[in-house]
A and B are shown apart, each in its own frame.
Chain A
Amino acid sequence: MKGNEALALAAIHGGCTHFFGYPITPQNEIPEFLARELPKAGGLFLQAESEIAAVNMLYGAAAAGARAMISSSSPGLALMQEGISMLAATEIPCVIVNVMRGGPGLGGIQPAQSDYFQMTRGGGNGDYRIISLAPATLQESAEMMQEAFALAQKYRTPVFIVSDGMLGQMMEPVELNKSRSKERVAEQPWILTGHHNNRSPRTIKSLRLDPAELEIHNLRLQEKYKRISQAEVRFEAYREVDAELLFCAFGSTARIVKNSVDDLHQKGYRAGLIRPQTLWPFPALAFRSLPKSCRSVICVEMNCGQMLDDVKLAVEGRVPVHFYGRCGGMIPEPEELTARALDILSGDSQ
């Protein structure tokens, strides 16, 4: 099973009942799989006429109590931003998958991490944040997919799964947790069900013309984001304890960095890796308490330096932060990373 299909199947196990989508490479296996399988599981698959429509169908379905998701790839995500801002403002629990490809514009269809900004800063208007889960293996993709629905419900928020063309298209062994979540959403007090003439009408809305009211709403959202930042930060630390050089990489890039870290150890160098599993909230604390041995950090991404901003903010100038990136769908090889690391290490020791 391809990564995209594993993700789609995990969504069904995660209790997904409604999927909306529009074709775009390299995520097509998700809608194609769900077109076949979701109806068999009692759910609904509907192809939208555009990503703008898809995100708004998601809004409607989730507002009416569905455990709903959509998926797309970079340019499609860009189109969805208006809707995502709306979902954040109205606190609608739902899951949005981005199988990233190279940008900007139509860019290419090969794997890239060009949407770190889009996934952590958003392109939509307003002060909002969205939990952003970044798997590095197919096993983790499947687990995060299932968890995403739970997080969405817990905090009443959209949740992003940040995959890419590599994780989406590849195959590797996965063990799926098949205990399908039976958790029902429909009983929550904000869901639109019709008031049956026995309660006051509910509204789901984002328009607040009274500045004071809007401020209160926004501060309440911020309060929630703070709670998420405290409770839901996730990262993996690999051989970091006595690392002289600390890599930071997420998703598929981190897989390659691990190879390079091992390689460096074999050559007698102490390198380690911090791998953010949540891009937002970013695991800044991993950098606040750097191991004493750490003399520099290098951020590796399949873009021209986006997460780099967050790494620098977290390191706060304590050690130099370097960058190595490939983009456009080019994949770094471990040898390139090792060579760059050796450059930095030798420069540092002078």
Chain B
Amino acid sequence: MSVIFSKTSGLTETATHYCPGCTHGIAHRLVAEVLEELGLLGETIGCASVGCSILSYNYLNVDMIECSHGRAPAVATGIKRTVPEKTVFTYQGDGDLASIGTAEIVHAAHRGENITVIFVNNAIYGMTGGQMAPTTLAGQKTTTAPEGRQPEFSGLPLKMSEMLAQVPSASYVERVSLHHPKYIRKAKKAVLRAFTCQMEHRGFSLVELLSTCPTGWGLDPIDSLEWLEANMIPYYPLGVFRAPEEV
């Protein structure tokens, strides 16, 4: 009998604290599997950001550092510039990356920093209890937008991948989704390409993963997957926004 599914050694045995139906767990697995397949687990340093994924250092079988809210790309810069031979990545939520951390992410891209950014976009602040994020969709209800996000008051949701693809020194930017196995397979390829990009010294790479937050959205896990597909994908189109020539 052959083993058809075995847990990746990139994940620890620790049970995650994520809510039922939260796709953070899937995002973790993709990162872990890719690093394992590239044989990089022992050569990687991860930067955990402030958000529900802050405890990712308990789940990913790599050396990791905890960063202040929004600052992971700057911390990653410091690490990569000190040990350029290591693989360095950040794992950031949308509050972390698209709100408080916009300066850091733009300037990491701007310098063409040779790091990989795993950007989990669930259109809300999960950890703090469902407040509006810059990525919250128009009309979407949150605890700080009780009537739903009103674009004329709060603007339209930020499209970070599109924005960062415009930064001249960015190298690889792709948006994928985690709502369905078929898409998850695509997402894994994107994560693989991003890390490969780094190994080939091509500079800044980022994968945006559209994700669910059943708790913050007030939906059950299945409805959340459907909500993502029906609402997020039309506004946040999937695809490669920036790629170096032959990746």
Pick the most buried of B54, B68, B129, B131: most chain A CB atoms within 10 A of its CB.
B131
Inter-subunit contact B70/A50 (CB<8 Å)? yes
Chain A residues contacting B42 (CB-CB under 8 Å) are none
State A250–B68 Cα separation when bound (angstroms).
29
Q: Does A36 contact B (CB under 8 A)?
A: yes
Contact between chains at A106 and B50 (CB < 8 Å): yes
Complex-state Cα separation, A50 to B133, whole angstroms: 11
Q: Chain A interface: which of B115-123, B139-147, B202-210?
A: B139-147
With contacts A50-B70, A75-B69 taken as known, whether A23 is within 8 angstroms of B95 at the C-beta atoms is yes
Which residues from B are CB-within-8-Å of A35?
143-146
Assign chain B's interface to a size class: 20 to 34
Q: Are B146 and A36 in contact (CB under 8 A)?
A: yes
The stretch of A1-9, A25-33, A232-240, A336-344 in contact with B is A25-33
Given contacts A28-B128, A28-B129, A49-B102, contact A23 B144 (CB under 8 A): yes
Judge whether A24 is part of the interface by a CB distance below 8 angstroms.
yes
- Check A81 for interface membership: any CB of B closer than 8 A: no
Does B35 have its Cβ within 8 Å of any Cβ on chain A? Answer: no
A47:B146 contact, CB within 8 angstroms: no
Q: Give, as a whole number of angstroms, the nearest-CB distance from A39 to chain B.
A: 9
Q: Is A22 an interface residue (CB 8 A)?
A: yes
Q: How large is the interface on A (under 10, 10 to 19, 20 to 34, 35 or more residues)?
A: 10 to 19
B68 touches A75 (CB 8 A): yes
In this complex, the member of B50, B127, B128, B154 whose beta carbon has the largest number of chain A beta carbons within 10 angstroms is B128
- Most B CB within 10 A of own CB, among A23, A51, A106: A23
Q: Of residues 31 to 65 in A, which have CB atoms within 8 Å of B's CB atoms? A: 31-32, 35-36, 45, 47, 49-51
Q: Which residues of B contact A51 (CB under 8 A)?
A: 100
**Cβ of B125 under 8 Å from chain A:** yes
Say yes or no for B134: interface residue by CB 8 A criterion.
yes
Are B66 and A32 interface neighbours, CB within 8 A? Answer: no
Given the known interface contacts A49-B102, A50-B99, the answer about A31 and B131 at a Cβ–Cβ threshold of 8 Å is yes
B165 to chain A, nearest CB (A): 21
Q: Are A23 and B50 in touch, CB under 8 angstroms?
A: no
Most chain B CB inside 10 Å of its own CB: which residue of A22, A35, A49? A49
Is B190's beta carbon under 8 Å from chain A? no
**Chain A residues near B102 (CB-CB < 8 A):** 49
A47 to B143, CA, bound (A): 11
| Residues on A with beta carbons closer than 8 Å to the beta carbon of B66 | 105-106
Which residues on B sit within 8 Å (CB–CB) of A47? 131-132, 144-145, 154
A-B contact pairs, 22 of them (CB 8 A): A22-B99, A23-B95, A23-B128, A24-B128, A25-B127, A25-B128, A28-B129, A31-B144, A32-B129, A32-B144, A35-B143, A35-B146, A45-B144, A47-B145, A47-B154, A49-B99, A50-B99, A75-B68, A75-B69, A106-B50, A106-B66, A106-B68
A23-B125, A32-B144 given. 16 additional CB < 8 A pairs? A22-B99, A23-B95, A23-B144, A24-B128, A25-B127, A28-B143, A31-B144, A32-B131, A32-B143, A35-B143, A47-B132, A47-B144, A47-B154, A105-B68, A106-B54, A106-B68
Residues of chain B whose beta carbon lies under 8 Å from any beta carbon of chain A: 50, 54, 66, 68-70, 95, 99-100, 102, 125, 127-129, 131-132, 134, 143-146, 154
